[in-house]
Amino acid sequence: MMPQEGIFHSPGAFSGLAVLRLTRNAALPQLREVVSSIHEELSATQGLRMVLGLEPALLPESPTQPALLPREGPTARFPSSQAHVLVQMSTCERELLLCALRRVLALSKGVLYLEEELLGGRIGVGREPFGFRDGLLKPTREQVRRTAIVPSGPLAGASWLLYLRFQQDLDLFNHLRTQAQERVVGRTREGELVVDAPAEAHILRARASGAGENQLLIRRGFPFRHGGEEGLAFLAASADPDGYRRALDALLGADGQTPDAMLRYATAVGGGLYLAPPRGWFHCPAQQERRPAHEGIGPGL
Ligand code: HEM
């Protein structure tokens, strides 16, 4: 089964996401129709990259597992604001992004309502709000396929998406001298490795979980500014939600590990785990039923 094409592309100059919830009276087949129309229209729009994820419990093929969020460590917490649908979009033109967000809302009318919307995009050459270069090790298509796409079984071609909305305390971080900031991240502002970085440095914590060099997850987040709040919409794609468990626990300092120094300056205020079905899933249910079950994700909703 073919994965959603957007998973292979890093966010462009302009990025946005919409988090939606089912309205009280909506039936599940209506949801499938709505998300299929959103996917069909937006994935065919030139210059727009999109990924659409659903709450995993909405897909019967998704294995039951302990909730990923909320998670807690000795000094920080990753809360849950799990909803039903997440759509991430990125473009090179702001107008296209705005049109796409409007279309998501128009197509969802009566079935889904908007719970959260974030607009953001690239800062300079690609910096996160603290001013550090981000997204340095660009994944190849092959790395994305290996790390982010479920290879076989009933979820073949699907991808697990993690969303965390971080508020970054720029004032607090800017009180640190440049060298101290670089020891928090584990890289210089321009992206060079800090050779004697402490174990609590962000990239060392991420690497301790096995997530370094695009191994456990593919990052596709973007910086935003919204109502005076600045931060990172952290988004990632992975073939295995257990990789997220390991990565988040390593940052939180769970089970006696060292907590990530970055979490003193960045606070997660919401997030959720979503499952991005493969492209074929978005056909109308009638077409799905004609396909043999062994072809991957079944009729679902
Ligand atoms: C506000 C929150 C965050 C900020 C500001 C942030 C910032 C950064 C920066 C500046 C880098 C170095 C540049 C680069 O390697 O591209 C980095 C690397 C990385 N971050 Fe984060 N990050 C945040 C949250 C997270 C979270 C929640 C995770 C995992 C769940 C994560 C996983 C990683 C990984 C895997 C790397 C690359 C490590 C490597 O291969 O060397 N980050 N992050």
pLDDT for position 234:
98
pLDDT at 1 over 60: yes
Tokens of 76: 């920080």
Q: What is the pLDDT of residue 131?
A: 98
In this prediction, residue 58 carries a pLDDT of 95
Q: What is the per-residue pLDDT for 195?
A: 96
Mutation choice for ligand 1 from 164, 234, 249, 260, CB with most ligand atoms inside 8 A: 234
H/E stretch holding 161: strand 159-168
3-class secondary-structure state, position 109: coil
pLDDT at 204: 98
pLDDT at 276: 98
Q: What is the pLDDT of residue 65?
A: 86
Helix, strand, coil % in the chain, rounded to nearest 5? 35, 25, 40
Which residue from 69, 134, 140 has its CB within 8 A of the most atoms of ligand 1, so it is best to mutate?
A: 134
Residue with tokens 């897909």: 59
- Does pLDDT of 287 surpass 50? no
**Preceding peptide of 241 cis, ω within 30°:** no
The domain 5-288 is placed in CATH, from the list 3.40.640.10, 3.30.70.1030, 3.40.50.300, 3.20.20.70, at: 3.30.70.1030
The b/e string for 188-210 (b: 16+ C-beta within 10 A; e otherwise) is eeebeebeebeebbbbbbbbbbe
168 alpha carbon to ligand 1 midpoint, in Å? Answer: 13
Ligand 1 atom at minimum distance from 231 CA: 1
Beta bridge pairs of residue 13? none
CA 226 / ligand 1 centre spacing (Å): 21
Are 281 and 172 in contact by the 8 Å Cβ rule? The answer is: no
Distance 66 CA to ligand 1 centre (A): 25
Residue 174, pLDDT above cutoff 80 = yes
Q: What is the largest CA-CA distance in the chain?
A: 63
DSSP state of 258: P
Q: State the Cα–Cα distance between residues 59 and 271, nearest whole angstrom.
A: 19
For residue 212, the CA-to-ligand 1 centroid distance in Å is: 9
pLDDT of residue 124: 96
Supply φ then ψ for residue 121, to 5 degrees: 160, 180
Identify the band that residue 286 occupies on the pLDDT scale cut at 50, 70 and 90: very low
Mutate to test the pocket of ligand 1, among 10, 123, 128 (most ligand atoms within 8 A of CB): 128
Do 235 and 163 form a contact (C-beta atoms < 8 A)? Answer: yes
Stated pTM of the model: 0.94
Under a CB-based contact definition with an 8 Å cutoff, are residues 223 and 121 in contact? yes
Give tens-digit pLDDT for 116-142.
999 999 999 999 999 999 999 999 999
pLDDT tens sequence across 33-80: 999 999 999 999 999 999 999 999 999 889 888 999 999 999 999 999
- Confidence grade of residue 283 (pLDDT, cut at 50, 70, 90): confident
247-275 mean pLDDT = 98
Confidence class of residue 301 from pLDDT cuts 50, 70 and 90?
low
Residues 6+ apart with CB under 8 A from 185: 130, 132, 194, 201, 202, 203, 262
With a cut of 70, say whether residue 271 has pLDDT above it.
Answer: yes
Distance 206 CA to ligand 1 centre (A): 7
Residues touching ligand 1 (Cβ under 6 Å) are: 128, 130, 132-137, 164, 166, 168, 185, 187, 202-203, 206-207, 211-213, 232, 234, 247-248, 251, 262, 266
The answer on pLDDT for 201 being more than 80 is yes
DSSP SS3 for 108: helix
Q: What is the mean pLDDT of the chain?
A: 93
Task: Say yes or no to pLDDT of 14 above 90.
Answer: yes
What would the mean pLDDT of 11-32 be, rounded to a whole number? 94
Helix, strand or coil for residue 20? strand
Given a cut of 50, whether residue 293 has pLDDT beyond it is no
d(CA 128, CA 135): 9
Q: Which is more confidently placed, 274 or 297? A: 274
